[in-house]
Structure formats: structure tokens, C-alpha cells
Amino acid sequence: MKVHFFILLVFCSLCSCVSTKSTLKNIDESAPIPKLTNQNTFVITAYSKDEKYGYDKDYPINVFFGNTKNEVINQERFLNALAGPKGEKIKFEKIESCCPFPTKKSEMGVGLLDVYEITWEGQKTPIKLYFNIYEKGALMVPLGLSLKK
């Protein structure tokens, strides 16, 4: 009896890893595909007024990679357009994937968010930004950052 209970417990915990309802709040399928500069970065013109945009797993930066073979290219195109708060050159590194959510745009029916650490000279604490490559949304500069000149 204990073995059956253990197997049932493991099965239930595995099934609960991904909710059937997405918690993502800022998906916009009507968002236009961003234009690219000659330096292969996104043209971003809007600044977010929402302190959660990019910083909260429920409000990721939705860079949607479409059908490209390189799934990090749009994250890099986005990050290459940014600078620190006073125009400082930023450095970024993907540090993890997390936060599974349901999506019809993945063969497995589930997507993961990518987390990037952003640093610049003179910064006290690195920041983390969440990226979603499966869904579309308006691209904006997150609070506390600026556009590269």
C-alpha cells in the first residue's frame, strides 16, 4: 500500500509542475514584429512605466523568436539596444531558465522563461530580467535602463 501511495504522490507532483493556465500578464499577439537596425538590434522607442515589466516572471519581455533556429537571437537583439540608467554600456549573461508555463507555440506544450543578469560599471547590484521567446508583446525599455545611443 505504501508503494502505491508513493507512486501516486510522485505522479501528482510531476503533473503539478506546469499549470494548465498561464500566469503571464502581458502577452499581446497583435504586437508588431520589431524592426532591426544595421547593427542587428531591435528598434525600441517606448519606455515601460510598469516596474514589473521584465523584472517579474509574470511580466516577462516577450521577444517571440518565431521560426528562427537560434532561440536566443531576439533576447540579444533586445539587450543590445539597451544601456544602463546613465547610458553605461551593459553586459548580460543568461543565468537560467525557469518558470514553466503552458503555450501552444512549443512542440511539448510548455515554455520556459530565460533569466538574464544585467551589469554595468558602477552598479551596486546586478539586475535580472525575464524573457519569453514563445509569445509576443510590446517591446519597451524596462524601468531603470535606457537606450544605447
| Residue 115 one-letter amino acid | V
Is the separation of the CB atoms in 72 and 78 below 8 Å? no
pTM for this one?
0.83
- At residue 42, the 3 state secondary structure works out as strand
The answer to whether the beta carbons of residues 106 and 1 sit under 8 Å apart is: no
Q: What letter does residue 142 receive in the DSSP assignment?
A: P
- Taking only the tens of pLDDT, the chain with its 149 residues reads 444 434 433 334 444 454 567 789 988 888 988 899 988 899 999 999 999 999 999 999 999 876 556 788 999 999 999 999 999 999 999 999 999 999 888 888 899 999 999 999 999 999 999 999 999 999 999 999 999 98
Q: Are strands 46-47 and 140-141 parallel, antiparallel or unpaired?
A: parallel
What is the layout of strands, in order, in the sheet containing 61-62? 61-62, 127-132, 110-120, 90-102
Nearest to 134 by CA among 103, 108, 107, 96: 103
Please report, as a single letter, which amino acid is at residue 137: G
Q: What are the two backbone dihedrals, phi and then psi, of residue 79, each rounded to the nearest 5 degrees?
A: -65, -35
